[in-house]
Chain A
Amino acid sequence: MQIKADVGKCQGYGNCVDLDPEHFDLDDDGLVVLLRTSVDEAELEKSGAAVRSCPVQAVWLADHDG
């Protein structure tokens, strides 16, 4: 799976960073930065929780070709 992000939607809640700091961070404006986009099987639960926790759906999981 791959993580996708729409920075235009991000409001800097930071929930994703709390839950999955290996994939997500915030830049100097407080907006989401993807540290890594690929999610392997072992990481799926953590990354899945991170994207579900976004109040504005600025991040989500997609298939590699999605």
Chain B
Amino acid sequence: MTTVEEPTRTGAPQVRNLVDVKNGEISREIFIDEQIFKNELENLFPRAWLFVGHATQVPEPGDFFSSWMGADPVLLTRDDKGELNVLLNSCRHRGMRVCRYDEGNTLQFTCPYHAWSYSIDGSLVDTPGALHGVPQQKAAYGTNLEREKWGLVRAAQVHNYKGLVFANWDPEAPSFDEYVGDFHWWLDNLADAFDGTEGGTEAFRGVHKWRIRSNWKFVSENFLGDTYHGASTHASVEAVGIGPGGKGKRRHGERQNEGGFSKGRMKTSFRRGHGASDNLAYEIPYPEFEEAELDEYFVAAWEKRKEKLQAEGRLLGGRGPATLFPNMSFAAGFPRTILVAHPISPTETEVWRWYLVDKSAPEKVRDWLRHYYMRYAGPAGMTEQDDMENWDYATEASRGVVARRYPYNYQQGLGQETASDLDGSVHSHHAIAGEVNARAFYRRWAEFVDNLSWPELTELARVDDRATERDAVVTDVAEGVKVLDAVDVVDGPPAQ
């Protein structure tokens, strides 16, 4: 394996040499190497659409929430006109963070260092985030300071998708809708209420934040389609029974008598790098609950959603786990939560977890979900702990000199992708095994990190070449389904 020594601004295909999608081999260097990490920060994160926060975290004018976009701290704010803004949290004078709180309410950010003051109040400044005043302006600058040039740096594009707020630093980047494509069905299921009400969810106050000694991509990869690790990694959690049904029931609470967790399940992989552990036709009703009040709420919600979606001609599946390229992972069922893997170093990641709940959910339901989410996810969550152990030790054991000479194996289901009706995507050949999603993720990742231009990136993703090559392997869809039936593991160990 070669190493990358120079930034890839020239567009030389350097990290693409480390991601061999055809043979299913990916170099360990992409999880360890300092220079590759720098190239990610330079070429990927400032050009990708990144999840910043939830609109319900900043409901009122003057509300703000401190977040990160790649290597940069940002503020999600709501201005006095009710609009959302994403601003770089760094003073234009000496770079101090103008805001050091996690969240709060203010219409101005005054830098603690030299007190340059920025306003998000549109009645005081033309553009929210603009420079509003500097101490001793007259003595310091006379009339020479052009305040309009020295406002907080603004994200070039901000998009509120049903309460999910995304931003992009690059004015040339494609629109959010184009970037997401047909993957939006998974975002819909995340943002819509359990009864299908559009955008009917809100963030629980508070975001879990913690650090792991692992590369950020381990997290994205796990969510976007690693259904292979569940049976081994989460065996102990399944034995304990932390899910809706209680002891002896699975942690996602799926109803075994109505399909279980594997039957008919195929992963969905998008050429643009997004991936989901399931498909839209993979329909499993909400879990059974021990308590009647909870059971009634979710049964009613499922029926209402089913009726609504069927009237719209929509399928009922698509609840993940999934990853929106590059680092926003989520599950839109049980649990329903968003995870963003912020890159700190090649071998350190700061993980942020948001939890969503129906706006209309009664207190009992909220409280039950809160407990379930904490049992499941976050630094003390049992399922999360299992995963973190793997990623930390995988990182530690991969950074050695000899270890780095040997690539990871991504060969599951090579060349066996099946057709998908969704634009720019394919399905995996198997319910549990199948690394088609990971291969697509790293292929797209390498195209960004090698700094291909937007026209090149767009052209590469215009047609999913896997869908055309696949015809040579699986001659018709029916055959693919037959294969799936044969390998269903309805009563076997759980996946994902």
- Interface residues of chain A, those whose CB is within 8 Å of chain B, are 11-15, 26, 30, 52-56
24 inter-chain pairs at a CB distance below 8 angstroms, sorted by A residue, are A11-B135, A11-B136, A12-B136, A12-B137, A12-B139, A13-B135, A13-B136, A14-B138, A15-B132, A15-B133, A26-B138, A30-B136, A30-B139, A52-B123, A53-B132, A53-B133, A54-B133, A55-B110, A55-B115, A55-B117, A55-B132, A55-B133, A56-B110, A56-B117
User: A15-B132, A53-B132, A56-B117 given. 12 additional CB < 8 A pairs?
Assistant: A11-B115, A12-B135, A13-B134, A26-B138, A30-B136, A30-B138, A30-B139, A52-B123, A54-B133, A55-B108, A55-B133, A56-B115
By a CB distance below 8 angstroms, the chain A residues around B132 are: 15, 53, 55
Minimum CB–CB distance for A55 against chain B, Å: 3
Residue of B nearest to A52 (CB): B124
Cα distance A13–B116 in the bound complex, in angstroms: 9
* B109-152, CB < 8 A from A: 110, 115, 117, 119, 123-124, 132-139
Minimum CB–CB distance for A58 against chain B, Å: 11
> Does the CB pair A14–B115 fall under 8 Å?
no
Cα distance A26–B138 in the bound complex, in angstroms: 9
The 4 closest A-B pairs by CB, nearest first: A55-B117, A13-B133, A11-B135, A12-B136
CB < 8 Å A-B pair total? 39
Cα distance A30–B133 in the bound complex, in angstroms: 14
Interface size on B, residues (CB 8 A): 15
> Does the CB pair B137–A13 fall under 8 Å?
yes
By a CB distance below 8 angstroms, the chain A residues around B135 are: 11-13
Cα distance A15–B131 in the bound complex, in angstroms: 11
Cα distance A8–B71 in the bound complex, in angstroms: 38
Cα distance A54–B133 in the bound complex, in angstroms: 8
Residue of B nearest to A55 (CB): B117
Minimum CB–CB distance for B9 against chain A, Å: 39
Residue from the set A13, A15, A30, A54 with the largest chain B CB neighbour count within 10 Å? A13
Minimum CB–CB distance for B180 against chain A, Å: 39
Minimum CB–CB distance for B75 against chain A, Å: 17
By a CB distance below 8 angstroms, the chain A residues around B123 are: 52
By a CB distance below 8 angstroms, the chain B residues around A26 are: 138
Cα distance A52–B132 in the bound complex, in angstroms: 11
Cα distance A11–B114 in the bound complex, in angstroms: 10
Cα distance A30–B136 in the bound complex, in angstroms: 6
By a CB distance below 8 angstroms, the chain A residues around B124 are: 52-53
Minimum CB–CB distance for B127 against chain A, Å: 16
Minimum CB–CB distance for B143 against chain A, Å: 10
Minimum CB–CB distance for A35 against chain B, Å: 16
Cα distance A62–B401 in the bound complex, in angstroms: 72
> Does the CB pair B117–A13 fall under 8 Å?
yes
Residue from the set A14, A52, A54 with the largest chain B CB neighbour count within 10 Å? A14
Minimum CB–CB distance for A56 against chain B, Å: 7
Cα distance A31–B188 in the bound complex, in angstroms: 55
Minimum CB–CB distance for B466 against chain A, Å: 56
By a CB distance below 8 angstroms, the chain B residues around A55 are: 108, 110, 115, 117, 119, 132-133
Cα distance A64–B117 in the bound complex, in angstroms: 30
Cα distance A17–B135 in the bound complex, in angstroms: 13
Cα distance A53–B138 in the bound complex, in angstroms: 16
* B320-341, CB < 8 A from A: none
By a CB distance below 8 angstroms, the chain A residues around B138 are: 12, 14, 26, 30
Residue from the set A30, A52, A53 with the largest chain B CB neighbour count within 10 Å? A53
Minimum CB–CB distance for B3 against chain A, Å: 50
